[in-house]
Amino acid sequence: MTIMKATFCPRTQSVLSLNHDSELYGHDAEHFNPGRFLDADGKLKSSIEDTRDEGHFSYGFGKRICVGRHVANNSLFIHIAYLLWAFNIVAEVDSNGKPELPDPLQCIEGLTIRPVPFHCNITPRSKDVAEVITQAKVERIGEGS
């Protein structure tokens, strides 16, 4: 249980709604729209107050904001960049040739929220990808591992 500004928040209360606040993110806050964070010139809008320039509440806010958020953001960036460098990730298509995309509003809740499973095809971007990955593995953990 938490009491914040005289408001009782039950232990099971989800904070997901903080990142879907239509007053902050607009009428389409429930939809994926990276453009909401850009101004008319395509530059980043100023950040939401108390989020230390994060622009969202995923790491908390104010004095209790996550101290490891920079490590988390940088780790995510490196891993996603590596995956996008190495692989083509394409949704499977139905019998009419249309991509079978998952509902972006469906998720699996738990310690972290994650998307529902979906089918996709993941293929190397080039024939050199496997060699580069194998070489990196050998350098990191040794031959024959």
Q: pLDDT tens, 58-79?
A: 787 788 888 898 999 999 999 9
Residue 75 lies in a domain: no
Q: Are residues 51 and 2 in the same domain?
A: yes
Q: Could you tell me if 45 and 91 lie in one domain?
A: no
Secondary element (H or E) of residue 109: none
The answer to whether residue 33 is domain-embedded is yes
The mean of the pLDDT values for the chain is: 82
**Same structural domain, 50 and 102:** no
- Binding-site residue numbers for heme are 66
User: Is residue 74 one of the residues assigned to a domain?
Assistant: no
Q: Is 76 part of a structural domain of the chain?
A: no
The answer to whether position 109 is within a domain reads yes
Same-domain pairing of 54 and 3: yes
Q: Which positions make up the binding site?
A: 66
Considering the domain architecture, whether residues 94 and 128 belong to the same structural domain is answered as: yes
Residues 61 and 116 in one domain: no
Neighbours of 25 (CB within 10 A): 18
Answer left, alpha or beta for residue 142, where phi above 0 means left and psi between -120 and 50 means alpha: left
The total of structural domains in the chain comes to 2
Evaluate whether residue 77 is within a structural domain. Answer: no
Whether pLDDT at 44 is above 60: yes
Alpha-carbon torsion, ordered 50, 52, 57, 60, to 10 deg: -80
Residue 1 and residue 11 in contact, taking contact as beta carbons nearer than 8 Å: yes
Considering 34-38, 43-47, 51-55, 135-139, the range whose residues carry the highest mean pLDDT is: 135-139
- 11 shares its domain with 60: yes
Q: Is residue 56 part of a domain?
A: yes
Question: Based on the domain organization, do 46 and 108 belong to the same domain?
Answer: no
Query: Could you tell me if residue 80 is inside a domain?
Result: no
Confidence tier at 4 by pLDDT (50, 70, 90) = low
Query: 37: domain range?
Result: 1-67
